[in-house]
Amino acid sequence: MSKQQSVRQEFGTVDDNELRLDRDKSEQIIDALNTDLASAYVLYHQLKKHHWNVEGAEFRDLHLFLGDAAMNVEEAADELAERAQALGGTPIAGGKATEEHAPVDPEGEDVYDIRTSLENDLEIYGEIIESLRDHVELATNLGDHATSEILRQILVETEEDAHHIEHYLEDDTLVTEGAMK
């Protein structure tokens, strides 16, 4: 690790930006982006956990879906972080900051059956969707239409993945209870 100790910008501070959005508005939007970023990190790690641990007759489809869903969340997190930085802020980047900023809680470290795992994922997706909707409105009301558009795009992808989980949780399956024993 480098011995250099010069801090270029302290976390939580907001510098002026070249996007011509005033600092007060930027602060509010950056806070919202960091909340969404923290939630994305929680969801990403939970999806990866389920991707690694899924078993059973539907293993392959779920394994692939969960890997893709995690990748979608990772891409969204990157967009959120880059936008926070563009607005003059510092995106959260560590476990402690994630815990402090995330309004969602991950499931425990234990491995659960896939139905329980997907239900837990869907709960986090629902909370993230509500937050994204609120933050689209916030950004729009503050005149930051670009952030609003970025959040809308993330919202569409997030809702789509949540909807896929809803389908996995339906009771119509080719796998019968007797075949699973």
Does the pLDDT at position 82 exceed 90? yes
Average pLDDT over every residue of 71-87:
97
> Residue 11: its pLDDT value, please?
74
Q: Is residue 13 part of a domain?
A: no
Our count of domains for the chain comes to: 1
Q: Is residue 122 part of a domain?
A: yes
Q: Is residue 114 part of a domain?
A: yes
Q: Is residue 73 part of a domain?
A: yes
Q: Is residue 87 part of a domain?
A: yes
d(CA 82, CA 80): 6
Residues 6+ apart with CB under 8 A from 45: 106
Does the pLDDT at position 15 exceed 80? no
Does the pLDDT at position 152 exceed 90? yes
Does the pLDDT at position 153 exceed 80? yes
Tokens of 69: 């869903």
> Residue 2: its pLDDT value, please?
59
Question: Which residue did the predictor score with more confidence, 137 or 11?
Answer: 137
**C-alpha separations of 103 from 40, 79, 98, 106, 172 in Å:** 10, 19, 9, 10, 33
Q: Is residue 4 part of a domain?
A: no
Determine the structural domain holding residue 111 and report its residue range. 23-169
DSSP 3-state assignment of 83? helix
Enter the pTM of the model. Answer: 0.89
Q: Is residue 165 part of a domain?
A: yes
Does the pLDDT at position 12 exceed 90? no
Question: Which residue did the predictor score with more confidence, 85 or 16?
Answer: 85
Average pLDDT over every residue of 37-60:
95
Is 135:36 a contact under the CB 8 Å cutoff? yes
Average pLDDT over every residue of 42-65:
95
The rounded percent of the chain whose pLDDT value lies above 70 is: 89
Most confident of 24-28, 42-46, 52-56: 42-46
Q: What is the CATH number of the domain that holds 95?
A: 1.20.1260.10
Phi, psi dihedrals of residue 124, rounded to the nearest 5°: -65, -45
Please spell the DSSP secondary structure of 57-78, one letter per residue: TTHHHHHHHHHHHHHHHHHHHH
**C-alpha separations of 22 from 9, 40, 82, 91, 178 in Å:** 18, 26, 18, 18, 63
Does the pLDDT at position 14 exceed 70? no
Q: Is residue 33 part of a domain?
A: yes
Over the stretch 102-142, which tens digit does the pLDDT of each residue have? 999 999 899 999 999 999 999 999 999 999 999 999 999 99
